[in-house]
Chain A
Amino acid sequence: MPAPRPTPTRPPLVVAGLGLVALVLILGPVLALGIRVPWARVGEVLGDPTTHDLLRVTLGAGLWTTLLTCLLGVPLALLIQHLPRGGRLVRLLVLLPLAMPPVVAGLALTAAVGRRGLIDAHLAFAFPGVVAAHTFIALPFVVVTVDAALRQIDPEIPASAAGVGLSRGEVLRKVVLPAVAPAVATGAGLAFARSLGEFGTTLTFAGSLPGVTRTMPLGIYLDRETDPGRAYVLGALLIGLAVLVLLVAALPGLWHRAPAPAARSLNPLDAGELRALTAPTTGGVPVRLGEGVELPADRITAVVGPNGSGKTTLMQVIAGRLRGRAVDVPGRVILLTQRPGLPRTTTVAGAVTMATRDASRTRALLDAAGLTPLSDVPVPALSGGQAAQVALVRALAARPEVLILDEPLTGVDIASATAWRGLLRAAARDRTTLLVTHDPLEVAGLSEYLLVLDGGEVTAAGPTAELLQAPPDDVVAALAGLNRVEGVVVASAVDTVSISQGRITVTGTSPEQLDPGQRAVATFPPEATSLRTASPAAAGTESARNEWPGTIEYVESPVGRSATLLTVSLGEGVRISVPVTRQSLLELSLTPGSRVHCVTKATAITVHPLHP
């Protein structure tokens, strides 16, 4: 069976037509020139010493120009990325040499570094002057192409490389430059080609002395006066050179092929070995957030909160990527986000070795993590789940004291997520781990400590088990899968306690003594409540102590569950979840807006004191 290929797409006819016109506009004159070239004279012109002089000056200037434009242009492109507001103004100014008339460019150079210029750099009428003129004109080609390539790099990639311990220079050498190498080649090729064709600026600034400053375009212009045939031959030669240069510059791009994702089955995880290879020498350190909140060392802390509650911001602050808030972290912090941030120009083993700096340790690590089958896979060929696992191993390889995981499993399939959690659980006891998550399974199954954020502030922090049992707010209650009603204690009997929130009174049991007037919170599992559509049962015929009238707000049918989840509003801002079977839903005609009575046994409700 042949491999599937992309379905071809066709542009609209007008686009295709105009595109062809443009192509003919470019190639037509070049081909027409070929008719006038006296091809029989090519040998004679090539053997002429004058031609050798022209070629020597032209190619010499081209090579020097390419070298200098890359040497100066790549750093400028890099600098632009770090300028405030993205260096928009600088980006525009860089284009000036392309927009200037060449003669004006020559006059400008004369004013700056000519014999009577601001600085006499002894460039005029000498070969370095030709190179200076060409570098001035061709620099934008390198800057623009490299700048565009740099903007395509996912900022997470250099950030995570710095996170696993690469110095600024190493990030540049091992991550950024390899990523933009094809663009540098393209820019260099364009600069060389532009140098081959430069005329006006060279003539104005450097002059035109045979063997010293006279390049081929200058020679062609003069030959046109006395020997047009020779001018045509030289012109053809120059075009040939330019085509050759552009072809060479395109080679890196032609080599590059998008690697096809390969299905590989992974090996089992060796938890003991993985811990031995990744434990930081000093162990984890506690993270102090100020406000008296301290996240415990060597534990997984789950960080929860509604969207926009400032979780990611706080994690970026702790990781040192954002400033402005006082946090105290004595040790190396690594942050993993949902973008794995692996360099796309290397293999899995290469990416991990950046952190380990030791190929044999990389092999041992991948082996312990069960990822050896992936070690020679190019990063772009990894699936999302594989990349998440590799990124975690790479982060662990740097032996951080603090590891921050900001929803790293978004978009990862269930099997990979399970493998990833296995990796994390294996390494959890050796370092402080912060896990930002929305997943109740991760909170309950992985974390020992829970940090709750809302509106950028810490609203609760404590051991996960305690907080889930007595959720301090609706976010944690939802995580715990519990309904939650806050109120004031109104009555306390031998084995029951009642709290009231406006018209709603909740009666439940309490493990400790509560006094009237005290604030408290009642929690109960959703399945403890049943629904009734008829009026209340007669007094003395019902054991359930709680009966609240309410209105159905939403009806949800989670995929793969038999029950349908209803959200019922009891008024006073109180909402509870109640599961019902599909059959009940149909028989009772429950739809949003239906009036219902919620019936709950007091024994299913736990009341805790609410700490201010």
Chain B
Amino acid sequence: MRRLPVLAAALLLSGCTAAPTGLTVLGASSTRVIDEAVAARSASEVTFSHAGSSTLVQQLIDGAPADLLITADHATMSRAVEGGVVEGPRVVAHNELVMVVGRGASISSVDDLGPDTALVLCDPQVPCGAVTAQLIDPDIRPVSLEHSVADVLGKVVSGQADAGWVYRTDALAAGDAVTVVDIPGAVDHPTAVVAAVTTGSADREEAQALLDLLSSPAMRPVWAEHGFTPAR
């Protein structure tokens, strides 16, 4: 019986052994496409964790260990700054909205959206929906206001919806399953991809170096390749 506590402690420790070196990045879901390129160019070992921007901010505020936060818009990054968990945010790239159309649907422009079109959008409460609300004709009625870009894309890919508005990066990642249609004015309403070093980082210097890498000229072709507009 005396060995039980020792065993229990060992079990607990094995669950949360922190890597002595290396950085942890909490990245907005849309940035997952650049993980490999970042890891290849970074001097440190980098671990990525992806979720919706606001989930990541909540995790940070609740004490999740991380060195760098990347959010998909300014608003969520502002909450992180207010919460005191990051400092010095910097825009590293931009993303813009496009319309994706399922295979076989006869929609080639935003003007083709009619009352019978099953259109899905992001809810205005999530970042992609906030931009959508600025661009869309208020008379166009969606059949659903989804909770994330992934939900919108999933509905169009499965054929459940005829069309949906998502980030260009996500549209590119979906490949041949959808057709991409440009949205007039989308270029004027870009969404910023913002990154910042966390206040709780164990190695602020390394984390800052990674942030510099994200906005460096070396990363520009990587951003562009995946549909982002690199920051100037």
Contacts and interface: CB of A to CB of B under 8 A. Distances in A.
B123 A208 contact: yes
Contacts of A213: 144
B27 interface: no
A207 B147 contact: no
B120 to A, nearest CB: 7
A208 B154 contact: no
Given A115-B159, A207-B155, A225-B52, A125 B118 contact: yes
Contacts of A226: 54, 125
Interface stretch (A60-68, A215-223, A354-362): A215-223
A114 B158 CA distance: 9
Query: Interface size class for chain A?
Result: 20 to 34
Interface string B120-133: 10010110000000
B182 interface: no
Given A207-B120, A208-B123, A221 B147 contact: yes
B143 A125 contact: yes
Contact of B158 (A116, A210, A218, A223): A116
A124 B118 CA distance: 10
Contact of B145 (A107, A204, A208, A225): A208
B160 A208 contact: no
A222 B158 contact: no
Interface string A187-220: 0000000000000000111111110011000100
B65 interface: no
A207 B52 contact: no
A365 to B, nearest CB: 65
Given A209-B142, A222-B123, A114 B147 contact: no
A210 B146 CA distance: 10
B144 A209 contact: yes
Contact of A209 (B52, B54, B145): B145
Contact of B147 (A107, A110, A222): A222
B58 interface: yes
Contact of A115 (B58, B118, B147): B118
A224 B54 CA distance: 8
A125 B126 CA distance: 20
Contacts of B58: 224, 228
Contacts of A210: 145
A115 B119 CA distance: 12
A116 B159 contact: yes
Contacts of B52: 225
A207 B152 CA distance: 9
A114 B144 CA distance: 14
A306 B154 CA distance: 72
Nearest to B158: A110
Contacts of A209: 142-145
Given A208-B144, A222-B126, A223-B125, A203 B159 contact: no
A222 B159 contact: no
Nearest to A125: B143
Interface string A312-339: 0000000000000000000000000000
A185 to B, nearest CB: 34
Contacts of B144: 125, 206-209, 213
Interface string A92-135: 00000000000000010010001110000000110000000000
Interface string B181-199: 0000000000000000000
A275 to B, nearest CB: 73
Contact of A124 (B54, B123, B146, B160): B160
Contact of A107 (B126, B146, B158): B158
B118 A225 contact: no
Nearest to A103: B154
Contact of B126 (A115, A116, A225, A228): A225
Given A208-B146, A209-B144, A210-B145, A203 B151 contact: yes
B101 to A, nearest CB: 14
Interface in B13-72: 52, 54-55, 58
B145 A114 contact: no
B125 A225 contact: yes
B121 to A, nearest CB: 10
A209 B124 CA distance: 12
A204 B123 contact: no
Nearest to B57: A225
Given A203-B147, A208-B146, A225-B52, A116 B123 contact: no
A222 B155 contact: no
Contacts of A207: 120, 143-146, 155
A208 B118 CA distance: 13
Interface of A: 107, 110, 114-116, 124-125, 203-210, 213-214, 218, 221-226, 228
7 contacts: A110-B160, A115-B160, A125-B118, A208-B144, A208-B146, A223-B125, A224-B54
- In the A-B complex, the 10 residue pairs with the smallest Cβ-Cβ separation, listed nearest first, are A207-B144, A116-B159, A125-B143, A225-B54, A222-B125, A226-B125, A225-B125, A209-B144, A114-B160, A110-B160
Interface of B: 52, 54-55, 58, 118, 120, 123, 125-126, 142-147, 151, 154-155, 158-161
Given A204-B154, A213-B144, A214-B145, 5 more contacts: A110-B159, A114-B160, A124-B160, A224-B58, A225-B54
